[in-house]
Homo-oligomer: A and B are copies of this chain.
Amino acid sequence: MKKLLLQLDSSRHASVFDQVVAYDAGADEIMSAPAVTPPDVRDLVHGCIFTRGPKHLKNTAVFIGGADMSAGDALLDAARKAFFGPFRVSVMLDSNGSNTTAVAAVVKIVRAMGGNVRGHRVVVTAGTGPVGLRAAGLLAHAGATVRITSRRAPDGARARDAIMKRFGGVVEVTCLTDAGQTAQCLEGAQVLLNCGPAGVQLVQRAAWANRSGLKVAVDLNAVPPQGVEGIEPNDDGVARDGVTCFGALGVGNFKMAIHKAAIARLFDSADAVLDAESIHELAQTLSG
């Protein structure tokens, strides 16, 4: 019996990234539904739960993606509401890599910080996208004081509220309209995590290199120019100017391992719900 993955994607085009990883992680076929909204979900999910007998339900699973984190959250809610009794399949949420990339970065950061970020200050630049929201939330949940930055103040405030509602903890927000302001924003920080878009440099070298107190810096942008000047994509715990550095591919290799392990996990049973916390837990069992 084929392992079938239903891809519910909130964006106009379903993520090709998620499709490639799903195939490589063992899905036999992907049933791809783009531009999905919450009212669409019930019928789509019923197509999964009413077609194969209870013993075989673990061979079908649901993957939720897309560029919008809150849309992803809403689709996950709708999918869980469509289940009832034994009529359910495993489901994973990972809007734009939100959970797998965020977890990979967070685990790298925590390990580089000696296993604990409680009480430390973390700055997440461009923290309003899916990965930033999830990473900030997991770090806040782990006891760090997290500051996210955003180019637009209302977006930042909305992101902060969403993170605290979902994960609790302490989250602050700074409106950052110019890369020149980053240095000031990093004052007192032990950790820098850049979640800015592909090909945009948000942090100049002068802002972070040899900065007193800064221990870890992570850049998740793989497309030149780098988001954090001076960090190489392949950096995976490299010491540069007194700071332990991680680049997009250094984190990305671990993200891939987490992403694939999570997909494989979906087909182990029919009742898994993989979101930030459960994927974080899964990642702890992996080296990377």
Contact = CB atoms under 8 A, between A and B. Distances in A.
Interface of A: 1-2, 4, 6, 12-21, 23-24, 29-33, 35-36, 40, 42-48, 50-52, 60, 84, 198, 222-224, 252, 256
B13 A60 contact: no
Contact of A17 (B1, B30, B46): B46
Contacts of A16: 6, 31, 33, 43-48
A24 B60 CA distance: 12
For the complex formed by this chain, how many copies does it contain in all? 3
Contact of A19 (B20, B47, B198, B252): B47
A48 B60 contact: no
A23 B4 contact: yes
Contacts of A50: 17, 222, 252
A33 B20 contact: no
A260 to B, nearest CB: 10
A29 B36 contact: no
Contacts of A47: 15-20
Contacts of A2: 23-24
